[in-house]
Amino acid sequence: MIDHTRVEALKIEEIKATKLYLYLFYFMYFGYDFIYYYVLPLFIERKMGVPDEGLGYFPYLFHLLLLLVAYYFTKKGNPFSIKYIYFFSFLVLDFINSILRYWGTSNEFKTGNIVEILIVLFAPLFVNKGYFWLVSIGMILKYIVYGLLFKSPSLILPVVLLLFFSIVGYILLTRFNSYINGMIKAYENSRQKENLAVIGQMAASIAHEIRNPLSALKGFTQLQQEKDMSKDNFYPIMLNEIDRINMIVSDLLIIGKPNGSTRNKAEIGNIIHYVVSIIKPQAVRQGVEIHIQKDRDLPPILCDENQLKQVFINLLKNAVEAMPDGGNIYLIVQAAKDSLVVSIKDEGVGIPSDKIEKLGEPFYTTKENGTGLGFMVTKKIIEEHGGKIGVQSVKNKGTTVDVSLPAGPIVGSNNI
């Protein structure tokens, strides 16, 4: 739904840019030639009118007919092709007209239109690098070819001018791209915050209502399990599923409640060793070995210790689950200026690059049975602690998650 909306928005912006481009194109194309062929001859000794040697009025009529083509493509929902059609039409007609006028004659080459500058300078407004380079290179090559065919040194000036305008256009294109990327990022952040707000409101309103019957259901299930001595029962499965629902509700509560947790000084090394002791049994069962490397004399950090434990449990659990056939996990704790960086590197299946950007979005998961809440909760906790989290992954080679947390000055290093 969101992608469809963005495509429609791009079409609308393309149509707006194309309309402005066509207005300026016709005004400058017809206006320049009218002044050159009909107004200037009133003041200088020169024949009035379009030269007879070339295509005459055909290019003007042809470009007027192109308005119907532009209208057709706009109605068909493909406005992106219009600029290419106009560029190639202008280039081909201008080339044929110049060949007919100057090839095999001794006449000095005098042609061109100010609309060529418009084509080059307007290209960045379409924010399409392919189109920009096509226009810039195409216009410059046109005059280089003219210079070789007609052996006219006067064509050096338009080549230099077009090169200059292309440089200006490239600068504009770079700024437009930067601006648009910033707007897209702001939009995505805003959308994600809205989603989190909705989930938070939902969690705050229904979490307790869900937990109360869950507690009763779990209690009666355990009681019934004690009474039922049959070996073939499904009570363990039922209890596991109840615990899973309870875990999802807990994640929703963390997302929904404001950041009011109590923070105290804690040693990151103690947190890491505790988390590893929790995850190690699962890792051993799957043939996964966890290697810890940390700097010596790491400074304490101000944090909610329980929340950070949950963060690293989530990340280590993800790393173990990414290696069903076993492997190694490298947990590295490094101290930098005013920060601590905890890196968790696995040798798992990896995450496709197009999916990494979506990590942390509500209910988005790369797991078959995932809820899409674990990484979102992790990211929220890290950001509330003033830290950052980054993910790098290579498919079938592994994933590295870097967690950066604010800390004090450091000294020394040690391997475990």
Among candidates 131, 138, 141, which has minimal Cα distance to 170? Answer: 131
Per-residue pLDDT of the chain (416 residues; tens, 9 = 90+): 445 556 676 788 888 899 999 999 999 999 999 998 899 888 888 788 888 888 889 999 999 999 999 999 988 888 899 999 999 999 999 999 989 888 888 777 777 889 999 999 999 988 888 999 999 999 999 999 988 888 888 888 889 999 999 999 999 989 888 887 777 777 776 776 666 666 666 666 666 667 677 777 888 787 877 777 666 567 777 777 777 677 667 666 665 555 556 778 888 888 888 888 888 888 888 888 989 888 877 888 888 887 888 888 888 888 888 888 888 989 988 887 788 888 999 888 787 777 767 676 666 566 656 556 677 778 888 888 888 888 888 887 888 889 888 875 443 444 44
Cα gap 165→171, rounded to integer Å? 10
**Which class is domain 264-415?**
alpha beta
Domains of the chain, by residue range, sit at: 2-151, 196-256, 264-415
Contacts of 9 (CB under 8 A, 6+ apart): none
| Burial class of residue 326, CB neighbours in 10 A (0-12, 13-18, 19+) | middle
